Structure 1
């Protein structure tokens, strides 16, 4: 199910040529150590195999240093999209871009060891478990690419924006519950997940918790009967782009027109990409949830 959160579309393009190397930032201080990886000098040819990292790299000003991104990294538009796979990375294909730094969200295939033979460093930026970890990755990616000040500024601004949105959202007169849909087979998220923590900032009750937020690693598969019985106040659909789900298709499911959320028009579609990434666009997700809570209170 975790892989379903990353099923996004991408377009192929040609690699940047050698003449497009980004000029080093003379004010950057290297070497820098991120976790167990020491980066000796500012990287000028970065390959990103993580959509979240790709978005963050461009947000901190490291875009000109990026020579290739994986097929799932569809934002921003100017990112050098390729057919590289983030789920089954091919060391030989990656090496063809002559990177001096490769960024991934996980390394279960021995990619780092394979690339190390060519002298290429691999930096693992795992899925953030909460907002604080996302902010920390903004800083770390800034440091790794010679844009530490920009990374710190991005983390501070993102935190501030989210705090302001949450503080400015009307507090529900009565507790609001929600169902968060990952796909049409009723996989959901609990409060123990990154997305569950974001929604938890608004004081919402997650019907998937069922007394144990750690159930199924935070990604339980519910049943239609359980969802109907819980009768959530709000429904968030994170399968609108991938699977064409919306208020109309949900209401057409057998028995679902009886849900309070359906009758009161509290079905909210989310951008699948934004809802599955721990990137600076978290602010857009938080704003969407704020709008939903505000609408439910009026």
Structure 2
């Protein structure tokens, strides 16, 4: 549902951008640069990073967006955007790293997924002296913050600030476009087996709200609640949005067509959004938000 907050989104976004830029400025002693990561720790480098390891697909996208792609020497599986990232050496999956191979690449900056990478393996990297920046964005400002921070650490500040500002301005445009839109009760399906959604604290829920949607599981006590089909039938959302398991694979929606009692099924409001656009907290989330907003607008048009 649209809120007064959305009506002044541009001012808030630009203010947040100014704050995160000021927080990310490096000290003027030599070329030392310091930022605060998503574990609220100060991360400093004596010079711009030259060899960067990105340990999640999202971190890979963020560092490339920040202008530091040329310095990336290690990624993990499914780091498929931008396309050139697929040519970078893989050091395992985000859930199990090949530490020997990673260490052999001698990164001077490691971008770690705070809740996605194995904590004991990241701790090992820190113990042997590697500089680790933890990534865990939860909202639009956090994404912009990560981009600017990574740009500072990579020495590509101008690019990072430009990308961050364009991202926030795009989000603001959507906020203004849909600020008076009629609410649409929405179920976003994060996963199929087990069935999962997300609560209000998740960035995807914030995209739903941005588009004038109402996340039917916003009040769940868990960030990623595990559900059963009965829970969705009880909530009876007006729209169901799923990402599927591939960019053109919408088969997760098929099961909901078997429930004609669902309002979303009755009104033909079963929608697919490519998961790479909505399930990674990167600048491409703006593109995913535009797609979601278009889908919820279609749902409004389907009303009697």
Q: Shorter-chain-normalised TM-score: which range? A: 0.7 to 0.9
Query: Do structure 1's residue 65 and structure 2's residue 71 form an aligned pair?
Result: yes
Q: TM-score, normalised by structure 1?
A: 0.80
Query: Do structure 1's residue 78 and structure 2's residue 79 form an aligned pair?
Result: no
User: Which residue is equivalent to 1:235?
Assistant: 240
SS in structure 2 at match of 1:37: strand
The structural deviation recorded for 1:279 is: 0.6
SS in structure 2 at match of 1:78: helix
Q: CA separation of 1:229/1:68 partners in 2, compared to 1, >3 Å: closer, same or farther?
A: same
Query: Do structure 1's residue 158 and structure 2's residue 167 form an aligned pair?
Result: yes
The structural deviation recorded for 1:248 is: 5.7
Q: Which has the higher helix share?
A: 2
Comparing 159-168 and 83-92, the one that deviates more: 83-92
Query: Do structure 1's residue 37 and structure 2's residue 43 form an aligned pair?
Result: yes
Alignment check: 8 A CA contact 1:208 1:222 kept: no
Q: How far apart are the structure 2 equivalents of 1:295 and 1:262?
A: 14
Q: How far apart are the structure 2 equivalents of 1:225 and 1:117?
A: 47
User: Which residue is equivalent to 1:270?
Assistant: 273
User: Which residue is equivalent to 1:223?
Assistant: 228
Unaligned 5+ segments in structure 1 are 1-28
The structural deviation recorded for 1:48 is: 0.8
For 1:1-298, what aligned pairs fall within 5 Å after superposition?
30-35=31-36, 36-79=42-85, 80-106=88-114, 108-116=118-126, 119-125=129-135, 127-169=136-178, 171-173=180-182, 175-184=183-192, 185-209=194-218, 212-213=219-220, 215=221, 217-241=222-246, 244-246=249-251, 249-253=254-258, 256-298=259-301
Alignment check: 8 A CA contact 1:46 1:103 kept: yes
Alignment check: 8 A CA contact 1:236 1:270 kept: yes
The structural deviation recorded for 1:53 is: 1.7
SS in structure 2 at match of 1:257: coil
The C-alpha deviation readout for 1:112-163, integer Å capped at 9, x for no partner, is: 55334654322212x2121111111111111111012221211111000111
Q: TM-score, normalised by structure 2?
A: 0.78
Q: CA separation of 1:235/1:195 partners in 2, compared to 1, >3 Å: closer, same or farther?
A: same
Alignment check: 8 A CA contact 2:174 2:211 kept: no
RMSD: 2.3
The structural deviation recorded for 1:59 is: 1.5
SS in structure 2 at match of 1:218: coil
Q: How far apart are the structure 2 equivalents of 1:252 and 1:233?
A: 13
Q: How far apart are the structure 1 equivalents of 2:244 and 2:106?
A: 36
The C-alpha deviation readout for 1:198-232, integer Å capped at 9, x for no partner, is: 211233222113xx34x1x2221222122123221
